[in-house]
Amino acid sequence: MSARAINGQRLYAALAALGELGAYTDERTGLVGVNRLALTAADGEGRRHVVAAMRAAGLTVTIDRIGNVYARRPGRDDGARPVMIGSHIDSVATAGRFDGCLGVLGGLEVLRTLDEAGLTTRRPLVVGFFTEEEGARFGTDMLGSAVATGRIALEDAWAIRDGAGLSVHDELERIGFIGDADPVLPAPHAYVECHIEQGPTLRAAGLELGVVTGVQGICWHALEILGKSAHAGTTPMALRADAGVAAARINVLLRDMVASGSYGADLRATMGVITPYPGLVNVVPGRATVSVDLRTPDDAALERAEADVVRAYAEIAAREHVQITHRRTARTPYVPFDQQVQALIADAASARGLSHQRIISGAGHDAQELSRLCKTAMIFVPGEYDGISHNPRELSTLAQCENGVNVLCDVVQALAEEPGP
C-alpha cells in the first residue's frame, strides 16, 4: 500500500507563504519577485519559517555548522540509512518562488501525505535544505551541499566573503544558523530532488515531467580587469587602457567560441556580471569585474573551452594594455544520475499517466553533490513563459508542481522500502 496523492493546494499555499519572505516589487514590471540571497536577513526569515513548519510536522530538526538543515522522520527500521529529499531555499537577487523551494516544501508535503495515510516507511526519511546553492552572494554555488559531501572543507567555506567583504561564518552567525552538527553527512540510502526545469524544453514539448539524466559540467570564472581610469574627452585613444573594452572583447569571444562549433553543439557561455568602475559616461573605465559561465555535458569540450578562454584573457589583456586576473569560482564535471532511480521516476510517471522524457540539467543542483554519497536522481517540472527562472516571472502551475511531487512521493516510498543497511 502506498500514499497515492499529495495535497496540491496545500503545497501551492506553502510555496506562496515562503515566497512572501524576501518579496520585492520589480520597479519596471510591477511583478513581485523574491530576493533571499543566502544568509541575508530575508534568508534567515525563510529558514526560521521552514524550520517551524518542519517542527510543526513533528520532525526532528538538525542544523549543521555550515547552516544546512535536516528534518528527520523515523522509519520502521530506524537504523537503516535514510532516503533524503532536498533542495535549497536561498535565491538569486531577482528570483521567483519555485527554484529550490519546490524541492524542500515538496519533501515536506510528501511527509505530511504519509502522515495522513498513516504510513511509516522502512527507512527513515529526511527532508533537507542546503546553504548558498545559488552562489549568487558568495560566488561558490552548491556551497552547503559541497561541505556536506566533503568536497569543500568547513573552514574554507566559512572564510569565503561576499562582495561587501562579509564572511560566510559571520553571516551564518548573524542570522543564527551556525548549528552544532558535524556538516559531513553520513551517506544516505538515496537522494531525490524535485525542481523546476528552469528552461524551455519540457514546456515547448508539451511534456508534464522530466526524468533528469545528469547535470552538465560547469565552469565559472570571476575576472578582475585592471586598466587605467581616464577622461573620455581628453585621453587619446592610443593611451587608453579601457577595462570595459577588454570585458566586451571577452563577451564577444564567448559568442564566437559557441558559434565556432569547436566545442560541440552543447556549449553554453555567458557573461552575466559586467561592472565597470567608475561607471560614468565621461570616464574611461579603469577597472571592471566580470563573470564567465561555461557549461556543457561534454567534459573534454569544457576542459578545452576553459583552456582557450584563459589563453584569450592573456591575448586580450595584451591588446588592450590591461591586466586580467581570473579566479575559478566553480568547476564541476558532468555528473550522471543513477539509472535505477531514473527508472523508478519514469515508471511512477508512466503509472500516473504523466507524459515525460529524459532531460539533462543545464543548471547545477545540490543533487550533483549528493550523488557522490548515494544513488541520486532528479525530477523536473516544466515552467511557464519559456521556463524563465531567476526572474519574478518564474512560474510552474499548481498542476505542474502537484505532478512532480506526486511522483516524488511514489519514488521516495519505493526507495524507503528497499532492503539493506
Using DSSP's 3-state secondary structure scheme, residue 82 falls into coil
Q: Is 100 a binder of a second copy (CB under 8 A)?
A: no
Question: Stretches 59-67, 106-114, 167-175, 228-236: which one binds a second copy (CB under 8 A)?
Answer: 228-236
Q: Is 234 a binder of a second copy (CB under 8 A)?
A: yes
Q: Which is nearer to a second copy, 86 or 135 (CB)?
A: 135
Using DSSP's 3-state secondary structure scheme, residue 212 falls into strand
Strands 69-73 and 60-63: antiparallel
Inter-residue contact 86 to 191 (CB < 8 Å): yes
Q: Which is nearer to a second copy, 5 or 252 (CB)?
A: 252
Question: Stretches 73-81, 270-278, 341-349, 406-414: which one binds a second copy (CB under 8 A)?
Answer: 270-278
Total number of residues shown for the chain? 421
Answer for which of 389, 396, 406, 413 binds a second copy (CB under 8 A) is: 389
Site for a second copy in 21-80 (CB under 8 A): 28
Minimum distance of a second copy from residue 220's CB (angstroms): 6
Q: Which is nearer to a second copy, 19 or 244 (CB)?
A: 244
Distances from the Cα of 177 to the Cα of 66, 97, 168, 275, angstroms = 8, 22, 11, 31
Q: Residue 157 forms beta bridges with which residues? A: none
Choose among 103, 148, 171: nearest CA to 361: 103
> Binding-site residue total for a second copy (CB under 8 A)?
74
Question: Stretches 47-55, 121-129, 245-253, 407-415: which one binds a second copy (CB under 8 A)?
Answer: 245-253
Using DSSP's 3-state secondary structure scheme, residue 30 falls into coil
Q: Which is nearer to a second copy, 191 or 380 (CB)?
A: 380
Using DSSP's 3-state secondary structure scheme, residue 5 falls into coil
Site for a second copy in 164-223 (CB under 8 A): 197-201, 216, 218, 220, 222
Q: In the numeric block, which cell numbers belong to residue 225?
A: 580587469
Site for a second copy in 327-346 (CB under 8 A): 329
Answer for which of 30, 237, 420, 421 binds a second copy (CB under 8 A) is: 237
Q: Is 379 a binder of a second copy (CB under 8 A)?
A: no
Within a 13 Å sphere around the CA of 70, how many CA atoms are in the beta-carbon half?
27
Distance of CA 294 to the CA centre of its chain: 15
